[in-house]
Chain A
Amino acid sequence: MSHDVKNAKNTHAHDEKAHGSIKLYVIFAVILCLITFAEWAIFKKRDALGISNHMLVFGLLLLSLVKFVMVCGWYMHLRYDHKSLTNMLIMGMVLASATFAVVAVVVHPKDCSASKGECFRLGDSTAVPEEPAPASP
């Protein structure tokens, strides 16, 4: 973590390389628009395209990941910055996604997702299905 001369230079005002060029930004903007359009089109035509639900989730997540990386990497110029900044973002993203993936799995009772609409009125009693009652001494 010593003082990094190259990175210090990046904060200088006229450093073209550090902040990309207008041309690059425009190309990226076009790509971002195309991906958004593609997402919209895939969503609209999902039946005609015959995409399974799993593929749909996977594909759309992949597309949004591409957009995410483009904006973070280039528009937020993480690519040119000190790597500790990237690490911070990754730390936040990974820990948050992992935590709430687990929360969703633990909270969501299985029978509820299987039969949408049925279990809503049951409240939280669905959360304790198969646990045997603790044996009394």
Chain B
Amino acid sequence: MLDSQHTGSAGTAGTIHGAGQEAHTHPTNTGVDNRKFAMWTLIASECFLFGTLIGNYLIHKNRGISGPKPHEVYQIDITTLSTFDLLMSSVAMVFALYYCNARRLRLFQFWTGVVALGGLIFLGFQYIEFSHFVLKEDLGLTRNIFASSFYLLTGCHGAHVTVGVIWMLSILITSLIKGDKWFNSTMVEVAGLYWHFVDVVWIIIFTVVYLFVYV
């Protein structure tokens, strides 16, 4: 009951994607909470967003007139590590929701923090990768069409991770302030869906962009 009295908690994404609705939500037709339903709708939409970006990348990746080609710059080892990191943050997300449901405050906060940390580490990897490309490989945004489409795709994914990190930190801070009064399972679940989807997108990017580099 407690969680239904405090509805709002999320950061940017949470709001845009429909946080904080009226507390007295009556039963819905599907039995699924409206916020969760809306998040899945957004995910369907995001399929097209990333579909466009990935399609765009695949069409352009070998059309760079000058400058490095994909297989000359990708560092699969580091990318594998960052893939691993994002997968593990997804696992942490599952734990966070589990302990939120179980009303275990400290464990919930710990795992939410781990999720945010995982996201930050991923962004760190991305920073290392981008700066390596720009500084060592002379592959800036406008160097060639491959670079442009690559940065557009991974940059968009990175922006999604950033929103997710802000969201997770907002949940963590709200929980730290409100303590035992705030176990907003639905909110955490919706944030989790977003986070997992960002992870799923990376699973596809890792294979289609990085591992298919010679194809």
Chain A residues proximal to chain B, CB less than 8 Å = 1-8, 10-11, 13-15, 19-20, 22, 25-26, 28-29, 32-33, 36-37, 39-40, 43-44, 53, 56-57, 60-61, 63-64, 67-68, 71-72, 75-76, 81-82, 84-85, 88-89, 91-93, 95-97, 99-101, 103-104, 107-108, 112-113, 116, 120-121
Answer whether residue B101 sits at the interface, using C-beta atoms and an 8 A cutoff: yes
Chain B residues proximal to chain A, CB less than 8 Å = 3, 27-33, 36-37, 40-41, 43-48, 50-52, 54-55, 58-59, 62-65, 76-77, 80, 83-84, 87-88, 90-91, 93-95, 97-98, 101-103, 183, 185-186, 192-193, 196-197, 199-200, 203-204, 206-208, 211-212, 214-215
Judge whether A64 and B76 touch: CB under 8 Å: no
A76 vs B185: C-alpha distance when bound (angstroms)? 14
A61 vs B77: C-alpha distance when bound (angstroms)? 19
Judge whether A60 and B212 touch: CB under 8 Å: yes
Judge whether B203 and A68 touch: CB under 8 Å: yes
Q: A103-B55, A120-B64 are in contact. List 14 more A-B contacts (CB 8 A).
A: A8-B31, A10-B31, A11-B31, A11-B32, A13-B183, A22-B95, A25-B98, A39-B207, A43-B211, A63-B207, A75-B196, A76-B197, A82-B31, A96-B50
Judge whether A104 and B59 touch: CB under 8 Å: yes
Judge whether B103 and A13 touch: CB under 8 Å: yes
Judge whether B207 and A71 touch: CB under 8 Å: no
Closest chain B CB from A82 CB (angstroms): 5
Find chain A residues with CB under 8 A from B215 CB.
53, 56-57
User: Can you pick out 23 interface pairs between chain A and chain B where the beta carbons lie within 8 Å of each other?
Assistant: A1-B29, A7-B30, A19-B98, A25-B95, A29-B91, A33-B84, A33-B87, A33-B88, A36-B206, A57-B212, A63-B207, A64-B204, A71-B196, A72-B196, A75-B90, A75-B91, A85-B32, A85-B37, A93-B47, A96-B51, A99-B55, A103-B55, A103-B59
Find chain A residues with CB under 8 A from B3 CB.
13
Judge whether B27 and A88 touch: CB under 8 Å: no
User: Which of A7, A40, A57, A100 contacts B55, CB < 8 Å?
Assistant: A100
Closest chain A CB from B76 CB (angstroms): 6
Find chain A residues with CB under 8 A from B58 CB.
104
A1 vs B31: C-alpha distance when bound (angstroms)? 9
Find chain A residues with CB under 8 A from B27 CB.
3, 8
Judge whether B32 and A71 touch: CB under 8 Å: no
Judge whether A97 and B51 touch: CB under 8 Å: yes
A99 vs B52: C-alpha distance when bound (angstroms)? 9
A26: nearest chain-B partner, CB-CB: B91
Closest chain B CB from A81 CB (angstroms): 7
Find chain B residues with CB under 8 A from A108 CB.
59
A120 vs B146: C-alpha distance when bound (angstroms)? 12
Find chain B residues with CB under 8 A from A82 CB.
30-32
Find chain B residues with CB under 8 A from A89 CB.
40, 43-44, 47
Find chain A residues with CB under 8 A from B83 CB.
36
Judge whether B55 and A39 touch: CB under 8 Å: no
Closest chain B CB from A2 CB (angstroms): 7
Closest chain B CB from A66 CB (angstroms): 10
Closest chain A CB from B89 CB (angstroms): 11
A63 vs B87: C-alpha distance when bound (angstroms)? 14
Find chain A residues with CB under 8 A from B33 CB.
11
